[in-house]
């Protein structure tokens, strides 16, 4: 096949439909087959290890990691290539349509003969100028290609909507690629007053290019409110260091704090007991702020001092309300303390109280709040949003402002009106009827005013 033939085959509507069907099939497989990002890495491994068929389908073919599987990426690449070639192929026709290159009188006359024309007897006093004005009143741009022919087009730029819609996919793809190569995601816990020093709890995704983001931030305060056990407000104030100055930015669920290309999303909160380990003389051996599981989950354990003392902090009792800031000084949590694996204390502590045990004591100095946050850093979101916007504009432009064209021809006895629209033919036929009525009424009005 020649290059021209290949290009023609690639730009055909059938190719586009085939690729759309393939993409739809792969998306169906995406939800039908277990995906690693949905079921989790461990469970995914359980599903594939020792199962040759599952391993072949999910791992070898990559259908268990559909978004990065070679099959999916190949079909996506072909689809984008198809879009690109269609765009290139449509530049010429689009330009001709938008530029409103006047059609030949002969062609329009032939069209009027071929299609079912609506006609009215030509009234006395009928004028071409009046007919053109009536068509303009309907939003048409009017040309007069022949002595007895008017040609009018409405929404001549509709074809640009097609171009925009297809370009938008390329933009979305460009944004996606940029995000893929620059994206970093990590989760961390910070307690009030704590400075972030890169202590990620988990790095969820490292960026393929470049190091993790610099994040000179400290947590100032947390504001968490619960209603019937559900978080109805969760916010935090962060202090970012900028040279010698600092900037405070607030974040809450759905409203991340931004620092350059990095966003801080708050998503969890709880109580952080400040614990002091002291010896029998009252000297402080260790001081630690513990982001403790507060409402649900297993006890939070923390090792203090030289490793001999371990404190287990139990979540609040079931049904207990999350303490507000005013309630913090009176709040209490249950602690179980072990010394060399031996339980030496088991009971509740409030701020200012201490658990005494052989060889020392553990003081609960105060409760603070902690916040769980996701740190996301990426570039390319703007391109992606531009793609979304362009795509929606393109769709509306193309599908709602669709192109319509009409031809009015006449002789000494009658006026004929023919037209075609890209779609919505029923609505267009109604419009043609109204245009014809207007042409007739306009003539009547003229006669009334002149006669």
17 binding other proteins? (CB under 8 A): yes
Q: Given 3-state DSSP classes, what are the helix, strand and coil percentages for the chain, each rounded to the nearest 5?
A: 40, 35, 25
d(CA 227, CA 253): 15
Residues 211-270 interacting with other proteins (rule: CB under 8 A): 226-228, 230-234, 252-256, 263, 265, 267-269
Task: Give the per-residue contact string, 67-106, with other proteins (x = CB under 8 A; - = no).
Answer: x---------------------------------------
**Chain centroid offset of residue 450 CA:** 62
If the CB atoms of residues 169 and 410 are measured against other proteins, the closer one turns out to be 169
Phi, psi of 113 (to 5 degrees): -80, -35
Beta bridge partners of 222: 236
Among 153, 237, 295, 355, binds other proteins (CB under 8 A): 295
Q: Rg of the chain's alpha carbons, rounded to an integer? A: 36
Q: Across the beta sheet with 230-242, what order do the strands follow?
A: 217-227, 230-242, 245-252
342-349 and 245-252: which strand pairing? unpaired
Of 48 and 409, which CB lies nearer to other proteins in the complex structure?
A: 48
State in angstroms the smallest separation of the CB of 228 from other proteins.
Answer: 6
Residues numbered 378-437 forming contacts with other proteins, rule: CB under 8 A: 381, 384-385, 388-389, 391-392, 395-396, 399-400, 422-427
Residue 16 is a binding residue for other proteins (CB under 8 A): yes
CA distance linking residue 435 with residue 449, whole number of Å: 21
If we measure between CA atoms, which residue out of 111, 126, 97 comes closest to residue 406? 111
Per-residue x/- marks for other proteins, 35-74, CB under 8 A?
A: x-xxx--------------------------xx-------
* DSSP state for residue 322 in the 8-state scheme: P
Smallest distance, other proteins to C-beta of residue 231, A: 4
CB nearer to other proteins: give 176 or 305: 176
The angle that helices 381-400 and 158-182 make with each other, rounded to 10 degrees, is 160
Residues that bind other proteins (CB under 8 A): 13-14, 16-17, 20-21, 23-24, 27-28, 30-31, 35, 37-39, 66-67, 176, 179, 185, 226-228, 230-234, 252-256, 263, 265, 267-269, 295, 374, 376, 381, 384-385, 388-389, 391-392, 395-396, 399-400, 422-427
């Amino acid at each position: 096949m020649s290059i021209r033939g290949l290009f023609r085959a690639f730009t055909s509507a059938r190719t586009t439909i085939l690729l759309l069907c393939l993409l739809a099939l792969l998306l169906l497989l995406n939800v039908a087959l277990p995906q690693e990002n949905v079921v989790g890495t461990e469970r995914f491994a359980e599903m594939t290890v020792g199962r040759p068929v599952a391993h072949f389908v999910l791992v070898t073919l990559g259908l268990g990691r559909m978004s990065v599987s070679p099959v999916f990426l190949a079909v996506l690449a072909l689809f984008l290539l198809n879009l690109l070639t269609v765009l290139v192929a449509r530049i010429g026709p689009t330009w001709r349509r938008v530029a409103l290159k006047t059609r030949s009188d002969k062609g329009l006359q032939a069209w009027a003969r071929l299609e079912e024309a609506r006609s009215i007897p030509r009234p006395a006093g009928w004028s071409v100028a009046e007919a053109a004005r009536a068509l303009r009143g309907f939003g048409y741009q009017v040309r007069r290609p022949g002595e007895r022919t008017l040609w009018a087009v409405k929404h001549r730029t509709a074809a640009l909507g097609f171009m925009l819609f297809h370009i938008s996919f390329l933009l979305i793809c460009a944004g996606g690629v940029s995000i893929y190569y620059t994206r970093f995601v990590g989760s961390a816990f910070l307690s009030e007053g704590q400075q972030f020093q890169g202590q990620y709890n988990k790095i969820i995704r490292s960026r393929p290019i470049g190091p993790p983001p610099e994040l000179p931030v400290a947590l100032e305060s947390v504001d968490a409110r619960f209603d019937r056990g559900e978080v109805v407000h969760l916010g935090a104030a962060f202090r970012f260091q900028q040279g010698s100055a600092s900037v405070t930015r607030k974040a809450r669920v759905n409203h991340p704090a931004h620092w350059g290309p990095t966003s801080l999303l708050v998503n969890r909160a709880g109580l952080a007991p400040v614990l002091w380990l002291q010896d029998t003389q009252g000297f402080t051996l260790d001081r630690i702020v513990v982001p403790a599981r507060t409402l649900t989950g297993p006890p939070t354990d923390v090792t203090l001092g030289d490793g001999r003392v371990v404190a287990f902090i139990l979540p609040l009792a079931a049904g207990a309300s999350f303490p507000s800031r005013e309630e913090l000084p009176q709040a209490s949590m249950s602690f179980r303390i072990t010394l060399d694996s031996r339980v030496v204390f088991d009971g509740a502590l409030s701020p200012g109280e201490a658990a005494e045990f052989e060889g020392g004591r553990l003081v609960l100095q105060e409760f603070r709040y902690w916040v769980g946050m996701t740190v996301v850093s990426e570039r390319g979101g703007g391109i992606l949003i531009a793609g979304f916007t362009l795509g929606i504009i393109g769709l509306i432009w193309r599908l709602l402002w669709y192109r319509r064209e009409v031809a009015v021809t006449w002789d000494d006895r009658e006026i004929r009106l023919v037209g075609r629209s890209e779609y919505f033919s029923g609505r267009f036929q109604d419009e043609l009827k109204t245009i014809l009525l207007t042409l007739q009424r306009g003539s009547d009005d003229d006669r009334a005013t002149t006669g």
